Chain A
Amino acid sequence: MKAVQRTGPLSLLYAFMDATRGRASVNGEIPRRERPIGLYILETGGCEGCFMEVESLNGSAFALEQAGFVCVSDPADADWLLLTGAVTRVCAEMLDRVWRAMPPGRSLIAVGACAVDGGPFPAGYATLGGLQALTPVRRAIPGCPPAPQEILHALEELARV
């Protein structure tokens, strides 16, 4: 990291170089797909820790796209829905709306303990207690919250299935 201490006219060049150098690379072979898997991230009422870790994964410190994934901002472009949070009763309608907007072949993945069974926020007057209240949870990434690298590894595993 010594280079980034240099300032002056070349500082931006150094900044570009360091930005590339610092990025974590994908372990193993890079998957070959016709197109990347589109990920849509939805927070449904948790502490937001899992959502922020997925956002970090989508940032520049991880090679998400190199691993064959791309985060999308429209559910119509998504293949997988990454759901974080305990699923509040108010958010169930939002979840349904987003799920219906996704094209056929869609998959639902619970990210973090809350998304599976509510974690520390089990069913109550305002919460359903995770996805399991709505549907069998077949694809889940455990953790409270899982680290971005753990989420990436889990996504790669799920993509191989």
Chain B
Amino acid sequence: MMGMGRIIRSGERVALSHYHLDAEQWSAMLSAPGATLPLISCWADDARAYVLLLEGDRPLLTSTAVEERRYLAPSSRFAGAEWGERVAYDLYGVEAMDAHGNGASALDEGGWTSTWPLSSRPGPAAGGLRPLAGSHLLRPEQTGLSGPLELSFEVRKGKVRSVEVCAGGAHRGVVSRLLGRTPEEAMPLVSRMTAGGFVAHPLAFARAVAQARGLVPGPGIRDVWMVLLEIERMSLHLFDMARTARGVDAELLATHCDHAREAIARACAEQGVSRRLMDMVTCDGFRDGLEIVPLAQAVHAVMQPRLAALEELHRVFASRLDGFAVLDVRLAERFAVGGVSGRASGRSMDMRRREAGMRLEALRATGSSQGDARAREGLRLAEIRDSLKLLERILGSIGLEDDEPAPDRTDEGIGVAEGARGDVWYWVRLKDGRIESLHVRDPGVSLLPVLGAMLRGYPISRVPAALGSIGISPAGIAL
């Protein structure tokens, strides 16, 4: 009996990590004996259904043909695939057979100009908005998040029992806007995918495009990308820490986070780059004129002296976060929850560790694996300290050569960047130099299936504070 990985590799290899399976192989893969590989993402279009898995720390992509608008549901094996199946139905009208879950809309709440808008055969508009099911609602403007995300709850004795999410309010049709463009034409839009990843999203995209073109960025480019990503990590961690602190009335800690984040933004602006590092990453490197050494030095200089006060204040207020919004490690493993949320629960996955040229000695952050808001907040602080160390190491050996081999050009690539809120994944397929197909996986998607368990037992009034502590971006989820 073959395991899942071997079944996938028995298919036709069409790219570095992508195997086509026929219907029989696909079915065998979904019922393979032994361990289930962690699912990173699931998606489908008119032609094919895909699952992106993680084998060790390496991506493994497999796909099968969609026939008569149907395919055997990956969620029959991978519980986390349900969101992708629902999105695929909303956008393409392709149906997952034997799907796990209730099949409710993920994005299409009504109100669009057509149903299945990305399908080759879109349907007529559905009319007005459809109300969400559930006895209680948290309207998009009430979640405390940065974007519109509608949550509906089943509530018993005033406490949350289950949660349904609809992200239609934040859906901007990004994928449809990117298809047919060259990667260079697409980059400005990719750079505006979500403010939760002004660096991480374009970086993952640039890595996917480089792999598709059979290129490996040189060590100088690679180090610039690492520096930008670490600056963004510190800034976003401070944002999420401030929001979490305010959720438990720890205003003094929030104040210091605000000041530190603003100091980083000003240091960036003084070095001639945008405050939040937007439009810094390009497909083949970074923006012309970017002076990475003074930028890294300036950010380090403003952030390092603030760390002691942040750690002291965290110690003072941390007990307010004890046991709040716990993510169990088994759920984190099952749904491949990454980033701070995953690591704070004990799932030790950090995609930076597999990057060529990474100064691994700087990545030392460990801490509580209780999975609660306190563990997440403590880990964010530890990761800021690591980011500063990483900047020091990179500045000490910037552009250090190594011999990473270039892949063959297949016009198809997978890219990942370990952003502040988790692992951002892009898959891209090019045709005649233009984007023929594309998939984006923001880390927020992996949090959706675990939200119910994290929020269970709390009154709805506590939900915004819980959402703030896990750092979730509706714009990244909905695209």
Contact surface of A with B, Cβ cutoff 8 Å: 1-2, 4-7, 11-12, 14-16, 18-19, 22-24, 42-49, 51-52, 55-56, 59-62, 85-86, 88-94, 98, 119-121, 124-127, 144-145, 147-148
Partner of B256, one of A6, A19, A55: A19
| Chain B interface extent, by class | 35 or more
Question: By the criterion CB–CB under 8 Å, are A14 and B259 in contact?
Answer: no
B262 contacts A56, C-beta separation under 8 Å: yes
Contacts A48-B196, A52-B146 hold; do A90 and B258 have CB atoms under 8 A apart? no
Interface status of B374 (Cβ within 8 A of chain A):
no
A59 to B111, CA, bound (A): 35
Is the CB–CB distance between B252 and A1 below 8 Å?
no
B binding-site residues for A, Cβ under 8 Å = 107, 109-114, 117, 129, 139-141, 146-148, 168-174, 176-177, 188-189, 192-196, 198, 239, 242, 251-252, 254-256, 258-259, 261-262, 265, 269, 275-276, 278, 302, 305-306, 308-309, 312-313, 316, 473-475, 478
User: How far apart sit A139 and B447, CA to CA, in the bound complex (Å)?
Assistant: 37
A5-B305, A86-B172, A92-B111 given. 13 additional CB < 8 A pairs? A1-B306, A5-B309, A18-B259, A19-B252, A45-B475, A48-B194, A51-B147, A89-B113, A90-B109, A90-B148, A90-B169, A91-B140, A94-B140
The answer to whether B111 touches A45 (Cβ under 8 A) is no
Task: Say yes or no: A94 contacts B148, CB within 8 Å.
Answer: yes
Shortest B224–chain A CB gap in Å is 22
Report chain B residues within 8 Å CB of A148.
262
The CA of A45 and the CA of B196, in the complex, are separated in Å by: 14
Given contacts A7-B308, A47-B192, A49-B278, is CB(A88)–CB(B139) below 8 Å?
no
Asked if residues B258 and A56 are in contact (CB atoms below 8 Å), the reply is yes
Residues of B within 8 A of A11 (CB): 309, 312
Check A89–B111 contact: CB distance below 8 A. Answer: yes
User: What CA separation (Å) do A4 and B312 show in the bound complex?
Assistant: 9
Give 11 A-B contacts (CB < 8 Å), ordered by A residue.
A4-B305, A48-B196, A52-B146, A56-B258, A60-B251, A60-B259, A85-B148, A89-B112, A91-B148, A94-B169, A124-B172
Interfacial chain A residues near B254, Cβ < 8 Å: 59-60
4 nearest A-B pairs in the assembled complex, by CB-CB distance: A4-B309, A60-B255, A49-B195, A59-B258
Question: Does B173 lie within 8 Å of A124, measured CB to CB?
Answer: yes
Most buried by B among A11, A59, A91, A147: A59
Cα distance A4–B194 in the bound complex, in angstroms = 33
Measured CA separation A127–B478 after assembly (Å): 13
Q: How many Å lie between the Cα of A89 and that of B189 in the bound state?
A: 20
Assuming A60-B259, A124-B176, is B146 touching A45 (CB within 8 A)? no
Q: Report the nearest A residue to B253, measured CB to CB.
A: A15
B259's partner among A7, A22, A127 (CB-CB below 8 A) is A22
Name the CB-closest residue of A to B192: A47
CA distance A7 to B315 in the complex (A): 12
CA distance A144 to B147 in the complex (A): 16
Q: In the complex, what residue of chain B is closest to A50 when comparing beta carbons?
A: B195
Is there an interface contact between B256 and A120, defined as CB atoms closer than 8 Å?
Answer: no
B144 → A minimal CB distance (Å): 10
Expressed in whole angstroms, the minimum distance between the Cβ of B440 and any Cβ of chain A is 13
Residues of the A chain whose Cβ atoms lie less than 8 Å from the Cβ of B195 = 47-49, 51-52, 145
On chain A, the residues within 8 Å of B114 by CB distance are 125
Across the interface, which residues of B come within 8 angstroms of A1, CB to CB?
302, 305-306
- Contact call A48/B176, Cβ cutoff below 8 A: no
Assuming the contacts A19-B259, A88-B170, asked whether A48 and B475 have C-beta atoms less than 8 A apart, the reply is: yes
Is the CB–CB distance between A61 and B262 below 8 Å? yes
Bound together, the chains give a CA A29 to CA B229 distance in angstroms of: 40
What CA separation (Å) do A52 and B129 show in the bound complex?
Answer: 27
CB distance from A63 to the nearest CB of B (A): 12
A12 to B473, CA, bound (A): 32
| CB proximity of B1 to chain A, nearest CB, Å | 45
Q: Name the residue of chain B whose CB is nearest to the CB of A40.
A: B141
Cβ B309 vs Cβ A47 within 8 A: no
Determine the residue in chain A with the shortest Cβ distance to B188: A120
CB contacts (< 8 Å) of A42 on chain B: these are: 141
A20 closest partner in B (C-beta): B255
- Contact of B148 with A145 in the complex, beta carbons under 8 Å: no
Across the interface, do B147 and A61 meet the contact criterion of CB distance under 8 Å? no
CA distance A18 to B260 in the complex (A): 11
Q: Is the CB of B177 within 8 A of A121?
A: yes
Of the candidates B110, B146, B275, B473, the one having the most CB atoms from chain A within 10 angstroms of its own CB is B146
Task: Decide: B309 and A14 in contact? CB cutoff 8 A.
Answer: yes
In the complex, A45→B193 CA distance in Å? 11
Are the CB atoms of B129 and A127 closer together than 8 Å?
Answer: no
Q: Which residue of B lies closest to A119 (CB)?
A: B192
Q: Judging by beta carbons under 8 Å apart, are B172 and A98 in contact?
A: no
Measured between beta carbons, the chain B residues less than 8 angstroms from A120 are 177, 188-189, 192
- Give the distance to chain A from B317, nearest Cβ to Cβ, in Å: 11
Chain B nearest CB from A26 CB (Å) reads 16
Once A56-B262, A88-B169, A125-B176 are accepted as A-B contacts, the answer to whether A15 and B140 lie under 8 Å apart by CB is: no
